[in-house]
């Protein structure tokens, strides 16, 4: 019997990615980490606790979830291919961005727009 290389459907991948990303969003909102601002993701991954606003335990979990997010993205591309993976990521992003707004920073760059001018 031959098993399909693809383990999850697009819908299942979207649910998985969204669950991870929603938890990341919740931790960011709780600890006031503006994850989408330039350089913040790199600082979190580099274990820079100064971005967590005194929420060390939330930061530790956030960092672990970011690593998991990138690992899931790698598997998503391997299973579905770049084009389908991009569709899943965009659907999850659009769904979550309506719920979160700009609490994590300016989403314009992620959407392919120019960032808002600083006031």
Q: What is the pLDDT of residues 21-72, one digit of tens each?
A: 999 999 998 888 988 888 999 999 999 999 988 889 999 999 999 999 999 9
**φ and ψ at residue 82, rounded to 5 degrees:** -60, -45
Q: What is the pLDDT of residues 70-80, one digit of tens each?
A: 999 999 999 99
Q: Which of the 8 DSSP states describes residue 114?
A: P
CA distance 57 to 44: 13
Q: Which has the higher per-residue pLDDT, 97 or 44? A: 44
79 CB-near residues (< 8 Å, 6+ apart): 5, 6, 7, 8, 13
Q: What is the pLDDT of residues 13-22, one digit of tens each?
A: 889 999 999 9
* Residue 78 confidence (pLDDT): 92
H-helix or E-strand spanning residue 15 = helix 10-31
CA distance 16 to 117: 34
End-to-end Cα distance, the chain: 62
pTM beyond 0.75, yes or no: yes
């Amino acid at each position: 019997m031959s098993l399909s290389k693809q383990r999850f459907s697009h819908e299942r991948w979207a649910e998985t990615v969204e669950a991870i990303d929603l938890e990341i969003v919740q931790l960011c909102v709780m600890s006031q980490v503006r994850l989408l601002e330039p350089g913040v993701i790199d600082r979190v991954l580099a274990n820079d606790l100064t971005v967590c606003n005194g929420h060390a335990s939330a930061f530790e979990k956030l960092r672990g979830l970011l690593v998991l997010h990138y690992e899931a993205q790698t598997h998503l591309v391997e299973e579905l291919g770049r084009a389908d993976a991009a569709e899943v990521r965009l659907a999850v992003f659009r769904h979550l961005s309506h719920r979160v707004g700009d609490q994590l920073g300016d989403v314009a760059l992620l959407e392919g727009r120019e960032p808002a001018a600083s006031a």
